[in-house]
Amino acid sequence: MGKVTAMMNLDARIPTGPIEEAWDSARFEMKLVNPANKRRHSLIVVGSGLAGASASATLGELGYNVKCFCFQDSPRRAHSIAAQGGINAAKNYQNDGDSIYRLFYDTVKGGDFRAREGNVYRLAQNSVHIIDQCVAQGVPFAREYGGSLDNRSFGGAQVSRTFYARGQTGQQLLLGAYQALERQVDTGQVTMIPRTEMLDLVVIDGQARGIVARNLITGKLTVHLAEAVILATGGYGNVYYLSTNAKGSNATAIWRAHRRGALFANPCFTQIHPTCIPVSGDYQSKLTLMSESLRNDGRIWVPKQKGDKRPPNEIPEDERDYYLERRYPSFGNLVPRDVASRNAKAICDEGRGVGETGLGVYLDLSDAIARLGVETIRERYGNLFDMYQRITDEDPYKVPMRIYPAIHYTMGGLWVDYQLQSNVPGLFVLGEANFSDHGANRLGASALMQGLSDGYFIIPYTVGNYLASTKLSKVTASHPEAQAALASTQQGVAKLLAIRGKRTVDSFHRELGKIMWDDCGMSRNAAGLKEAIGKIRALREEFWQNLNVTGSGDDLNQSLEKAGRVADFLELGELLCIDALERNESCGGHFREEYQTPDGEAQRDDEHFSYVAAWGYTGAGKPWDLTKEPLEFAYVHPSQRSYK
Amino acid sequence: MKVKLTIWRQKNPDSKGQFITYPVDVVNGEMSMLECLDVLNETLMGRGEEPVAFEHDCREGICGSCGFMINGIAHGPLPATTVCQLTMRHFKDGDELVLEPWRSRSFPLVKDLVVDRRSFDRIIQAGGYVSVSTGNAPDGNAIPVGKEIADRAMDAAACIGCGACVAACPNGSAALFTGAKIAHLGILPQGKPEQDRRAVRMVAQMNVEGFGSCTNIGECTGVCPKEIPLEEIARMNRDYLLGAWRERGNVVTAIAPVTDWNFGEK
Ligand SMILES: Cc1cc2nc3c(=O)[nH]c(=O)nc-3n(C[C@H](O)[C@H](O)[C@H](O)COP(=O)(O)OP(=O)(O)OC[C@H]3O[C@@H](n4cnc5c(N)ncnc54)[C@H](O)[C@@H]3O)c2cc1C
Ligand code: SF4
Ligand code: FES
């Protein structure tokens, strides 16, 4: 019934044999679509970020008929545009010991042994082709004087494998993919449909065959059909309301697909970035990331004394606590994101946080300024310092910056197999929207790599294999399942407008975000999670009674758009907490207070939790079904991460 | 502190618009112009009124979604700053700010402060790319690119496609936007082979879209949040002239501007 239900054994279709040859042999075994037949196949790509734009462009180049959707006015505005730091690739141009194997190893370990080895190895292999492709498109990566590509080390990696374009790497990579996409729009292979939001997945005979989408200008709902549907709609960090994500980032596309049967994997694996500008007031709409690279030269500290209100410059050296250096003598200020974030929270919970709200720690570059001079620091971090000063009106050359952790990235997402296909045949999921490669914690500069690997180098093969090996019947928009999806979407929109209650969408979203942050944020415990689940259910109930959306459904109505997204966050938030409660261990970004080592570090439990938690939707208000995909490690042996 | 926002309200392209003045409480100087509008919208919705429609997404000055005129200046008074990054400490108690959408023939109004900038996408479609399909690329280091050249290309590539340049220009010219892309790709060896064709087609598309011509007034670069220099326009003109000569006899195909939102469906 327009939905995939029966949950069998999950087959991740990971190729057997040596990992180095797995992707090659998988490609060899894939069926090919005859070039002349490609134009007879139509595909839908939802999303125009790095994953969606690269997929649409490449599929267009191959000759498929592609329709690409995004909710912004132009595909170039996708959230990927905001990525700053860089993109990893195992080029080993620096001759410093990098290799595909090392990038693979680092990523599996960094993910705290909760990702599939096969997927990660392929990602590391593809990384080198990504750089070549982007350079050829005209992406202006940073260069050395001699003309070769420059690299930096990032996120505590011991090799320099990060390629970058000033502090705007995401922008330049996305513009490269966007331009490739516009080239295909020009040739007519790709039809770009902006300002249009997917609100439902059309499943016919158990196969994904299209979407229901709302034109955000006219309000019109339309069924779009295709032979396969590719979702590249980004992450769900905004379930926390305040995050570093763009305001429009949302989970609606993947959530509506989940409600049609697609499994949701590891929702509780969320990443908190340690260096963001602290919250300054209730009106705050989003959080701004300060690049991680600042930790290369900055020292993090708080006063030793609780409630010490003196300005930082008046606190003498011996009354400061450089807590990361104290607790982690070998990694110091460069511990991974999850460790740095948790420690900042713990310090502030003790009452030693700084700034007006007490939710902040100092990131101090004065030693580096004294050592290297203002000019060097300006060259390295000038644009970041400017941004900080623009927002806070404080001069970081003189006063230490205040930083606090913020939600940044979501490792969880729709479950996909090695072919990036969900458990719903014909539904593929790329980029941050899937759960695939980062396990319980993502390393810096790896999301851009994954999005482009999925879009440029994986989906073109795997979707072809699907089309060539699957019998697809002819369907039209008048098919009963398509019409049923259209009707239920129509009702959903009408329902939001009909409540006419007292509270705005943002007020619900903020309240949800606070519950999530307090009880399912940097550290979690069973009691808090249970309480959060209760609170979310109550809030959801109130939402459907007391929501106030003004205006109508037949023109541009931004609060109506938000209302639909928040309705989905209110369900996803609950599942996130359920998943966090079920996972009785600490790993990566998921820290359960009950499971820590005597000195307060994350305690993994490989014996019981070395699996992917894939959740199936069983109906509104009904408990989710859990299917476990066991993880096996044949190459990188699971060990306790230690940064002491 | 309190400010008065006088905002252009227009339900759709066919209805008549008007300015309406709203008082807004500014909580602190760290608040951005867009957060001010958020606060106003919460109040409006509380009264059962429709909120002010405005565009935004990243709120970090990089996606290019946001933008409107503040007291006649595109993106407001602070140089090199989009409205999403414009904090309220740059205004004072009692200030009256007039907020208006970009006004340009080639950016038809959608609602309130929202306009249609798809003409920019079509200018890119007309050649703002390197024609290299996935899989065709040589090794990234195969063609050396000097640091100065890469830096120059990056300067031009920093354009966020916001449209402020068009809104600020008395002629409504899109020369800075178009020039930035022509320069970015033309400077790099990877973009050289298509330099002539690109310049000719992109300039032609700019004209088809109804953008005005550039008379070197320079308002555009003054409001540009990424400080794209006028130099890029000079480069465009040069590439265009050279290209038009070398490509003479070749038919230039323009893309038909679309102003409705039906995406080819009825
Ligand atoms: C501030 C910041 C800095 C970062 N820096 C780095 C970095 O240096 N290196 C790195 O590797 N990673 C970085 N990341 C992470 C990285 O940017 C993202 O994970 C990545 O860009 C996601 O790309 P994507 O293509 O999956 O999705 P997105 O870029 O989020 O694109 C989603 C697309 O889907 C569309 N969409 C969504 N829902 C719908 C719907 N219902 N209907 C229609 N369209 C829809 C949107 O319009 C958009 O086009 C950073 C993230 C942030 C927030
Ligand atoms: S040139 Fe400047 S003002 Fe014009 S679109 Fe680009 S960034 Fe905006
Ligand atoms: S909202 Fe993205 S540039 Fe202003």
pLDDT in tens, B190-249: 999 999 999 999 999 999 999 999 999 999 999 999 999 999 999 999 999 999 999 999
Which of ligand 2's atoms lies nearest the C-alpha of B67?
8
Least Cα distance to A208 among A8, A487, A463 occurs for: A463
Largest CA distance in chain A: 76
CATH of A480-605, one of 3.50.50.60, 2.40.37.10, 1.20.58.100, 3.40.50.720: 1.20.58.100
Please tell me the number of the ligand nearest to residue A454's CA: 1
Å between B231 CA and nearest CA of chain A: 18
Distances (CA, A) of A134 to A274, A623, B138, B148: 29, 45, 10, 19
pLDDT at res. A209: 98
Give the residue, out of B37, B54, B63, with the most ligand 3 atoms within 8 A of its beta carbon, to mutate for a pocket test.
B63
| Chain A / chain B CB contacts < 8 angstroms | 227
Q: Take residue B252 and report the two structure tokens written for it.
A: 């230039």
Secondary structure class of B265 (helix, strand, coil): coil
Task: Write down all domains in chain B, each with its CATH number in brackets.
Answer: 2-110 (3.10.20.30), 118-246 (1.10.1060.10)
Å between B41 CA and nearest CA of chain A: 10
Ligand 2 touching residue B225 (CB < 6 A): yes
Give the Å distance between the CA of B66 and the centre of ligand 3: 5
Q: A407 forms bridges with which residues in the sheet?
A: A272
Q: Take residue A386 and report the two structure tokens written for it.
A: 């400017």
| A552, A220 Cβ separation under 8 angstroms | no
User: What's chain B's Rg over C-alpha atoms?
Assistant: 20
Residue type (1 letter), B32? S
- Mean pLDDT, chain B, rounded, equals 96
Chain A residue with minimal CA distance to B133?
A61
Catalytic residue IDs of A: 337
Å between B246 CA and nearest CA of chain A: 22
> What are phi and psi for residue A116, nearest 5 degrees?
-80, 130
CA dihedral B6, B12, B16, B21 (to 10 degrees): -10
Q: Take residue A374 and report the two structure tokens written for it.
A: 């203002």
A278 — pLDDT class (breaks 50, 70, 90): very high
Which of ligand 2's atoms lies nearest the C-alpha of B177?
1
H/E stretch holding A69 reads strand A65-69
Phi-psi region of B131 (alpha: psi -120 to 50; beta: other; left: phi over 0): beta
Residue type (1 letter), A507? S
pLDDT at res. A83: 95
Report, as an integer, the average pLDDT of A100-118. Answer: 96
- Examine the pLDDT at B181 and tell me if it is beyond 50: yes
Ligand 2 touching residue B164 (CB < 6 A): yes
Ligand 3 touching residue B63 (CB < 6 A): yes
CB contact under 8 A, A135 and B140: yes
Least Cα distance to A288 among A184, A403, A175 occurs for: A403
Distance (Å, whole) CA B59 – CA B79: 17
**Which of A183, A457, A507 is the best substitution to test chain B (most B C-beta atoms within 10 A)?**
A183
pLDDT at res. B89: 94
A165, A183, A390: residue with CB nearest B154: A165
pLDDT at res. A292: 84
Report, as an integer, the average pLDDT of B132-142. Answer: 97
Least Cα distance to A529 among A544, A516, A545, A542 occurs for: A516
> Which residues does chain B have within 8 Å of residue A142's beta carbon, measured at their own beta carbons?
150, 154
Chain A residue with minimal CA distance to B187?
A138
Q: Take residue A143 and report the two structure tokens written for it.
A: 């260069």
pLDDT in tens, A469-507: 999 999 999 999 999 999 999 999 999 999 999 999 999
User: Helices A117-137 and A100-110: crossing angle, nearest 10°?
Assistant: 120
H/E stretch holding B156 reads helix B147-157
Ligand 1 touching residue A231 (CB < 6 A): no
- Examine the pLDDT at A335 and tell me if it is beyond 90: no
Share of chain B above pLDDT 90, in %: 97
Report, as an integer, the average pLDDT of A359-385. Answer: 91
Alpha helices (H) along A111-251: 117-137, 169-187
pLDDT in tens, A208-256: 999 999 999 999 999 999 999 999 999 999 999 999 999 999 999 999 9
Give the Å distance between the CA of B213 and the centre of ligand 1: 36
On the 0-12 / 13-18 / 19+ scale of CB atoms within 10 A, B149 is middle
pLDDT at res. A6: 47
- Note which residues in 221-250 of chain B have CB less than 8 A from chain A: none
Secondary structure class of A348 (helix, strand, coil): helix
pLDDT at res. B69: 98
pLDDT at res. B266: 63
pLDDT at res. A500: 96
Distance (Å, whole) CA A445 – CA A154: 7
Which of ligand 2's atoms lies nearest the C-alpha of B174?
4
| A169, A448 Cβ separation under 8 angstroms | yes
Q: If you take atom 8 of ligand 2, which residue's CA is the nearest one? A: B162
CB contact under 8 A, A217 and B261: yes
pLDDT at res. A2: 64
CB contact under 8 A, A58 and B133: yes
Distance (Å, whole) CA A237 – CA A247: 10
Å between A329 CA and nearest CA of chain B: 35
Cβ of B197 under 8 Å from any chain A Cβ? no
CB contact under 8 A, A191 and B134: no
Extents of the domains making up chain A? 19-269+411-469, 274-407, 480-605
The fold of A19-269+411-469 is FAD/NAD(P)-binding domain (3.50.50)
- Examine the pLDDT at A8 and tell me if it is beyond 90: no
Ligand 3 touching residue B66 (CB < 6 A): yes
Distance (Å, whole) CA A275 – CA A272: 9
On the 0-12 / 13-18 / 19+ scale of CB atoms within 10 A, B136 is exposed
pLDDT at res. A600: 84
pLDDT at res. A1: 45
Residue type (1 letter), B212? G
A207-215/A221-225 β-pairing: antiparallel
pLDDT at res. A7: 53
Q: If you take atom 3 of ligand 1, which residue's CA is the nearest one? A: A83
Alpha helices (H) along A373-453: 374-392, 447-452
Q: Tally the C-alpha atoms within 13 A of residue A126's C-alpha that lie toward its C-beta.
A: 26
Which of ligand 3's atoms lies nearest the C-alpha of B162?
3
- Mean pLDDT, chain A, rounded, equals 95
B124, B144, B262: residue with CB nearest A182: B124
| A122, A23 Cβ separation under 8 angstroms | yes
Ligand 1 touching residue A198 (CB < 6 A): yes
Q: What angle do CA B124, A77, B196 make, to 5 degrees?
A: 15
CB contact under 8 A, B60 and A82: yes
Report, as an integer, the average pLDDT of A623-628. Answer: 96
pLDDT in tens, A418-433: 999 999 999 999 999 9
A80 — pLDDT class (breaks 50, 70, 90): very high
> What are phi and psi for residue A317, nearest 5 degrees?
-50, -45
The fold of A274-407 is Flavocytochrome C3; Chain A, domain 1 (3.90.700)
Phi-psi region of A474 (alpha: psi -120 to 50; beta: other; left: phi over 0): beta
- Examine the pLDDT at A153 and tell me if it is beyond 50: yes
Residue A388: CB partners within 8 Å, gap ≥ 6? A277, A290, A394, A396, A401
pLDDT in tens, A563-601: 999 999 999 999 999 999 999 999 999 999 999 998 888
Q: If you take atom 9 of ligand 1, which residue's CA is the nearest one? A: A445
pLDDT at res. A5: 57
Report, as an integer, the average pLDDT of A312-340. Answer: 93
Instruction: Report the Cα A293 to chain-centroid distance in Å.
Output: 20
Least Cα distance to B53 among A555, A587, A483, A476 occurs for: A555
> What are phi and psi for residue A196, nearest 5 degrees?
-140, 130
Q: Tally the C-alpha atoms within 13 A of residue B21's C-alpha that lie toward its C-beta.
A: 9
